[in-house]
Structure 1
Amino acid sequence: MAGTCCPSYSTGDPLLDFFYILFNGISEVPLFSSPLNGILILAGVLLASWRAGVMMVIAGLIGAGMALMMGAPYDLVTFGLFGYNSILTGMAFWSGPFVKSNHATFWISIFGAAWTAVSWMAFAHVMGDWFVQGGQGWAIPGFTSSFIFTTWAIMLATKRFGHNIWPALVQKEPIVAGVASGTSVSQLMSDSSNPEPEHSFKWTPKEFMIAVLKGVSQVTFVENWKTGIFWVVGLTLSFELLSTTYTTPDGTLIVSRLFTNAYTTQWDPTSPLYLAGLMALIGSAIGAGMAILQKLPTNEIRMGLHGFNQVLVMIALTSFVPLTWQTFLYAVLATIACSFMMPAFQNLFGRWGLPALTGPFVFTAWIFLLALAGFQYIPAGIGWARP
């Protein structure tokens, strides 16, 4: 069979296309288009929080609706590319852990989801077009950059609003200079400006696995290990609608659609490997393990805050490039690097009272993808390429 092309979810059936727009938009949060994955992720989020699940649906549909009203390519909308960043922006407010859930934050979530649809197209242009002008650059994915840009801007703005949005900081001890804003420090290490690590909690395999699963669920600001299981199962069973075209001997053009593995379809449509769930677990485990070695706050590790960026890095670096032993090790290196970027972003943006969000993931993934220009043993992927 020849002529395999990019997957398409545009069917011409309004109800079926709506189904794809909704659940592909949710599924794209961990960088895959798969309705089955989207359904399982939504189920897992609803299990943890009805607010988060409701906002996930509303924000995703608003992002897609804005794209349709402004005339975005229809195939991109049904593929889910205008849903996932809007979902993250919407979930960062109202249903998220950062601000209070009230009428003000609800409507800010709605507006943020709409704004993010515009930001997504802007970053898609910057990363996809500017880098290839004159044939001397690269086209690389924008990932969740539009969510980060929009959410940080709104968060900074709302700190001056006369609405009851931000909860008061609870500080048991004075904040020590050089430590991220909002961090409580009981004491410092002797002759050091670093905080004394917690020694009362003892890690066990069970506690570590719970932290790993929470790291997966925290991609959408949910702290629930059961939700993490839904994510892993959904990623493992990720199926994608693959369109194939071929011409019969009599000249008839045949277009067929089949469901295939969303993880490997971009580089091997016939691959039976379902690895996205495994890569998510590996990424979160690396993040949690590195945080323990770095003696970062134990409560943050147990909440999964040092796993979700690493989940996305591991998935991105093993799916946006064909998976080989070199690219796998490259992805592991990137995930370890992200484990340094996370506390760096916490320290930097915490000075303005902002969360790191998925900034460490985006920055790390961009650096490691752009670096591939000089590494000839690591192949380029679909949707972006060498000059």
Structure 2
Amino acid sequence: MTISSFSLGVIAFLSAMIGTLVAKIGGADETLVRKGLMGYNSVLTGLVLQTFLTGPTAWVVALVGAAVTAILTATLMYFLGNLGIPILTLPFILLTWFTLLASYKLESIKLSGSLSPQSLANWELNMEGKINLLQSTFNGIGQIFFVTEAIPGLLLFIAIFWASRKMGIYAVIGNVVACLTALALAGEHALILLGLYGYNAILTILAVSVVYNTKENRYAPITGVAAACITVPLMASVSIWLLPLGLPALTMPFVLSTWLILGARKVLPKL
């Protein structure tokens, strides 16, 4: 990430420290802290706010957002934990959306020019541009950390394979099936190339087929592929739903698709 943007690398490091510090000061379970479960949402919040905000206060807002996200993470862990459902990236999504919306009423929080509300009445589907499936694959993994260049995306893929060959293979499968699904459904070529239909699919197949997979989930590989495909129409619908608000979809398709399968497994355990 630092290769692509030094400032994003710094903000990610500081956000991780802040999220972990809040967890330690608050007395969180040490196992959760060591696994990074109290900090990853803070990292994502810091990255997105630094990306979509501008002005001299952007860094401050991003880091404060990282701290508040750690608290929101604990809150949602409590409520969703009672249902046996993981929080995934929900704290990051909610905190980011509310902060970006607050910018319309708070002058100290300034949006960058990349975000602006759009009317659905004037929306047109743009099918121009060629698609490079290999580049789309690397861009998909890069989009998880808001990186669009091919080289950082390739390095992230290598890092996943280095950590776990199984996760690396699933990441490739998830990205490819998402790209093919988007093509089959005639999605915008530019969005496919940028990896915007891929990153949610990668997260989803890893969650469904690897992270939250048990011996009882006999059909987890198939279910993971299906869940990855589902993120494509979810991405299309969520992004259009948020278009009038000028908000990015972020990882909400991943959260919804993963919850769909994990919730179903409470009744259909073989999935």
Q: Same fold (TM over 0.5)?
A: yes
Q: Which amino acid aligns with 1:156?
A: L
In the TM superposition, what is the alpha-carbon distance from 1:140 to its structure 2 partner?
2.1
Per the alignment, do residues 326 and 156 of structure 1 end up closer, same or farther by CA in structure 2, a change over 3 Å counting?
same
Per the alignment, do residues 169 and 330 of structure 1 end up closer, same or farther by CA in structure 2, a change over 3 Å counting?
closer
- Of the candidates 97, 103, 125, which is equivalent to residue 152 of structure 1? 97
Structure 2 match to 1:306: 197
Contact 2:115–2:247, Cα closer than 8 Å, also in 1: no
Q: Which amino acid aligns with 2:110?
A: I
In the TM superposition, what is the alpha-carbon distance from 1:197 to its structure 2 partner?
2.6
Q: Which amino acid aligns with 1:321?
A: N
In the TM superposition, what is the alpha-carbon distance from 1:168 to its structure 2 partner?
4.0
Identity of aligned residues (%): 26
Deviations 1:208-257 (A, max 9, x none): 1111111001001111221222222211221xxxxxxxxxxxxxxxxxxx
* 1:112 is aligned to 2:5: no
- Distance across 1 between alignment mates of 2:141 and 2:20: 25
TM-score (structure 1 length as normaliser): 0.65
Structure 2 match to 1:29: none
Task: State the SS of the aligned residue for 2:37.
Answer: coil
Q: Which amino acid aligns with 1:227?
A: P
- Of the candidates 127, 133, 138, which is equivalent to residue 197 of structure 1? 127
- Distance across 2 between alignment mates of 1:69 and 1:196: 49
Alignment map for 1:11-50 (pairs within 5 Å): 45-50=1-6
- Distance across 2 between alignment mates of 1:286 and 1:150: 30
Structure 2 match to 1:220: 145
Structure 2 match to 1:88: 44
Structure 2 match to 1:245: none
- Distance across 2 between alignment mates of 1:377 and 1:325: 5
In the TM superposition, what is the alpha-carbon distance from 1:104 to its structure 2 partner?
1.3
Deviations 1:323-374 (A, max 9, x none): 7761111111111111110011101112211100001100110111000122
Task: State the SS of the aligned residue for 2:111.
Answer: coil
Contact 1:318–1:327, Cα closer than 8 Å, also in 2: yes
Greater helix proportion: 2
Larger Rg: 1
Structure 2 match to 1:275: 166
In the TM superposition, what is the alpha-carbon distance from 1:175 to its structure 2 partner?
5.2
Q: Which amino acid aligns with 2:10?
A: V
Structure 2 match to 1:40: none
* 1:140 is aligned to 2:102: no
Task: State the SS of the aligned residue for 1:177.
Answer: helix
Unaligned 5+ segments in structure 2 are none
Per the alignment, do residues 196 and 229 of structure 1 end up closer, same or farther by CA in structure 2, a change over 3 Å counting?
closer
Unaligned 5+ segments in structure 1 are 1-44, 132-138, 180-184, 186-194, 239-262, 264-273, 379-387
In the TM superposition, what is the alpha-carbon distance from 1:170 to its structure 2 partner?
9.2
Structure 2 match to 1:321: 213
- Distance across 2 between alignment mates of 1:150 and 1:286: 30
Instruction: Provide runs of 4+ in structure 1 moved above 3 Å.
Output: 167-171, 322-325
Deviations 1:137-172 (A, max 9, x none): xx121111111111111111112222472234699x
Contact 1:231–1:277, Cα closer than 8 Å, also in 2: no
CA RMSD in angstroms comes to 2.1
Contact 1:217–1:231, Cα closer than 8 Å, also in 2: yes
Structure 2 match to 1:364: 257
- Of the candidates 14, 20, 23, which is equivalent to residue 58 of structure 1? 14
- Distance across 1 between alignment mates of 2:15 and 2:115: 30
Contact 2:41–2:73, Cα closer than 8 Å, also in 1: yes
- Distance across 2 between alignment mates of 1:202 and 1:126: 45
Structure 2 match to 1:73: 29
How many residues are treated as equivalent by the alignment? 268
- Distance across 1 between alignment mates of 2:147 and 2:130: 24
- Of the candidates 121, 141, 145, which is equivalent to residue 177 of structure 1? 121
- Distance across 2 between alignment mates of 1:88 and 1:127: 20
Contact 1:232–1:278, Cα closer than 8 Å, also in 2: no
Contact 2:93–2:250, Cα closer than 8 Å, also in 1: yes
